[in-house]
Amino acid sequence: MSIDKDWWKGAVIYQIYPRSYCDSSGNGTGDLPGITGKMDYIASLGVDAIWLSPFQKSPMKDFGYDVSDYCDVDPLFGDLSDFDAFVSAAHDHGIKVIIDMVLSHTSDQHPWFDESRQSRDNPKSDWYVWENPKADGTAPNNWLSVFGGSAWQYDSHRGQYYLHSFLTSQADLNLHNPDVQDAVLDACRFWLERGVDGFRLDAMSHYFHHLSLQDNPAAEANFGNTQLDHLDPYNMQYHKFDKAQPEVYDFLKRIRSLMDEYNATMTVGEVGEDDPLRASGRYTAGDSMLHTCYNLSLMVGQDKKLTAETIREPLEYYEALDEAGWPAWAFCNHDVVRVVSRWGKQNNGEFNPNFAKMLIALLTSLRGTVFIYQGEELGLPEAELAYEDLQDPWGIYLYPKWQGRDGCRTPMIWSADAKTNFGFSTHTVKPWLPISDKHIGKDAATQDQDPNSVLNFTRAFLQKRKTLPALVKGDIRFVETGSDTLLAFTRSYEGQHVECIFNFADHAQSFNGKEIAAFGAVFDTNKALAA
C-alpha cells in the first residue's frame, strides 16, 4: 500500500499542549500516558495528525520551549518509552505525529550553554551569540526581547553579553555556525528515527541575526501588520537586524533535505515577521523549502471584529503572492486568546455553541492545512485567572494589561467530576493551572451525550469533509456578498465544486437564494457560486 507523501495538504492537525491535556500520574500536570489514554477520543474527532507541543527535558521556565536536552523526555511527562507508546497508539489509529522542535534557542541549563559560557576559546564558545559590552558596560545594541527588556544578558563567566530573543534563560543558538546546525539536525533525526511524521518549527524567524549587530530602527505606527502598542516596547521597533535574515533559506534547505530522507514527513514553520504572509510564501516556495508555514494572521487582534474581510483579506493576499507554497491556518493555539472569546464577544457568541460550530466549519473549509487547538472542538472560551494563579512569565510581566497565555492553557475538562478536576486528573490534586468556571458543563463526556453539541458537530463535519476532496485540496474563490457579516466562497477540485456561505451575525440572513441561520453555514456540493 503506497503512502501519500502529500497527506499534509489539507490535513486537519490537532494541537495538544501536554501539561494541560490529561494527568495520568495524579501530580496535577498532564503527561504522555494521559494523552495516549485519550487516543480513541482524538481519533473520534476525525483529525489527520497531532501536533504535540514541547515535551523534551526542560527546566520549564517557558514550559518546555526552553529545552535542556533535545533527545529526552522531561520526567514531568514520562520517558522515552512513554513517547514511543504514544506514537505507536497514534499510528495504530491512523493519526500522524508532529512534534515541536525549538531550534532557535535552548535553556541556559543546556550542557551546550554551560560549556559555552565557561570561556571564549572552548569547543562550544561560539555555539551561542556572545558579544562584548559597549565601553560604558551597556548592552551591544538596542535589540529587545519578545518577553520584555533588553535581548542581551550579561554573563560574568565570560565577561560578555549573550543574546536571548525571549527569556534571559533562553539563550539564542548561533546557527551561523555549521556545527550548531549539524547538532540540531542530529536532534531532529533522533525523533524521525523514533517514528515522528514531522516538525513544527518554533520561532523560525529568530534562527539568524545580522552579524553587524546594528541597532534596529524605530517602527512607524501600524508598520506592516504590526500595530504600535505602548503596552509592548517590542512592537516599537522594526526588526530589521535581530531576525528574519537571508541565511535562513540555506538552513531551511538543509532541514528539507533531512526530511526528504524519510517517507511522507512534513514541516510547518512558525512565522513571526512584519509581513508574515509574504514571509510564509517565501519559506514554502518550491520543493526545497518548508512544506508549509503558518502565522498569526487569523489569531491576533483581540479587538478586531470577525467580518468577511477578516478572513478574506489574508487568504486573498496569500493567494496573490508571486512566491507561495501550500498555506496553513489556525484560529487558536497555546499563545493566543481562544477564538470564541476573541471574536464571539462582539456578537454575543462567546457562549453560543452555534458560533463555535460555525468557526469549526469555517476554519476547516479554508484552503490550506488547518490546526485545531485542544478544547476548540468543545467551544471552550478563554479562562480568566487571578494574578496569584498566573504561571506565564509574559503575562506576569504585562499584568494587569494582559494576563498572558495562561487563559488558553488551563486544563482540558473530560467529565463532570469536580473531585478529579473534571476528569483531568486521576484523583483530587491541585492542577498546575485552575479549572475555569467558564468551562464547567462543557466537558467532553457531557458533550458526547448531546447530539447537538460542538463536539459532535466537529466529529460529523470532519467526517463529511473527508468525502469532499474540494474542501481538502481544492482551490478557493471568494464571492462578493454585499455584507460584512456574510462570507461566501467556492472550493473546487477535479470537477467537484462546494459552495460555502457563512453568517457571522446573530440573526438569520439570505444570500444566493439561501437562508442562513444566525451563526450558521450552508454548503452546496457541485454548485459554484456566481461571481
Asked if 173 and 128 touch (Cβ cutoff 8 Å), the reply is: yes
Q: Is residue 260 a part of any domain in this protein?
A: yes
223 phi, psi to nearest 5 deg:
-65, 130
User: Which residues does the chain have with pLDDT short of 50?
Assistant: 222-229, 531
CATH of residue 270's domain is 3.20.20.80
Residue that is written with C-alpha cell 531576525 in the block: 243
- pLDDT (0 to 100) of residue 156: 94
Q: Is residue 118 a part of any domain in this protein?
A: no
Nearest to 468 by CA among 491, 434, 443, 436: 491
- Catalytic residue, chosen from 48, 66, 100, 202, is 202
Q: Is residue 22 a part of any domain in this protein?
A: yes
Q: How crowded is residue 172: how many other Cβ atoms within 10 Å of its Cβ?
A: 23
Joined together, the cell numbers standing for residue 64 give: 518546555
- pLDDT (0 to 100) of residue 462: 98
Q: Is residue 113 a part of any domain in this protein?
A: no
Joined together, the cell numbers standing for residue 306 give: 470577525
Q: Is residue 396 a part of any domain in this protein?
A: yes
Q: Is residue 520 a part of any domain in this protein?
A: yes
- Beta strands 369-373 and 12-16, pairing class: parallel
* Residue 261, domain extent: 12-105+177-464
- Catalytic residue, chosen from 40, 136, 193, 261, is 261
d(CA 292, CA 186): 22
214 phi, psi to nearest 5 deg:
-65, 155
Indicate if 261 belongs to the active site. Answer: yes
d(CA 303, CA 351): 18
Same-domain pairing of 19 and 97:
yes
Q: Is residue 129 a part of any domain in this protein?
A: no
Tens digits of per-residue pLDDT, 280-335?
999 999 999 999 999 889 997 655 789 999 999 999 999 999 999 999 999 999 99
- Beta strands 49-52 and 96-101, pairing class: parallel
Same-domain pairing of 327 and 378:
yes
Same-domain pairing of 481 and 459:
no
- pLDDT (0 to 100) of residue 349: 63
- pLDDT (0 to 100) of residue 204: 97
- pLDDT (0 to 100) of residue 301: 66
Nearest to 74 by CA among 42, 39, 29, 112: 29
Domain count within the chain: 2
Q: Is residue 454 a part of any domain in this protein?
A: yes
CATH of residue 485's domain is 2.60.40.1180
Same-domain pairing of 208 and 245:
yes
Asked if 495 and 518 touch (Cβ cutoff 8 Å), the reply is: no
Same-domain pairing of 429 and 497:
no
State which H helix or E strand residue 170 sits in.
strand 170-172
Same-domain pairing of 381 and 506:
no
Same-domain pairing of 380 and 455:
yes
Which residue, 412, 439, 464, sits at the end of a domain?
464
The percentage of the chain sitting over the pLDDT mark of 70, rounded to a whole number, equals: 95
